[in-house]
Amino acid sequence: MFNVPDEGVDVVMAGAFARSLAKRGAGRIRMLFQHDPKEPVGRWDVVREDGFGLWVEGRLVPGVPRADALKALIARQALDGLSIGFRTVKASRGGRRAVRRLHEIDLWEISIVTFPMLESARIAAAQTSAAAAIGAAISAIRT
């Protein structure tokens, strides 16, 4: 979410993702488990900024053991955290608690995690309809 400090006292500013998303698009931003590059679990179909922050929609890949486990955990609301992996391009510091404002970031991946740095970065809904037959469709995720 924009303008909300995370546990590391980083604040993502509106527009911070714009250049990276224009360059990469959703297809080149990886869906990982716990930021582990050896644990790809799905793909993001939609990655965009909205009025609140980063909105993503994606699906887990069926037949991948970790993705199958995540599908069950998400469906039972046992796991719902999200976290972004990025390189800082432009930032500034200041204000209370020495907040780091991220004005531009190069987004590489978005992970399903146990403990997100931003408490409100959660999976909002998981489809369990026909789309689930081709993989758990995570249809409304805000990071």
What are the tokens at 20? 């990276």
Catalytic option among 20, 39, 49, 83: 83
Query: Which one from 7, 20, 35, 104 is the annotated catalytic residue?
Result: 35
Catalytic residue list contains 109:
yes
Tokens of 18: 């714009």
DSSP string, 116-136: -SSTT-EEEEEE-SGGGGGS-
**Candidates 20, 109, 111, 139; catalytic one:** 109
Q: Which residues are catalytic?
A: 35, 83, 109
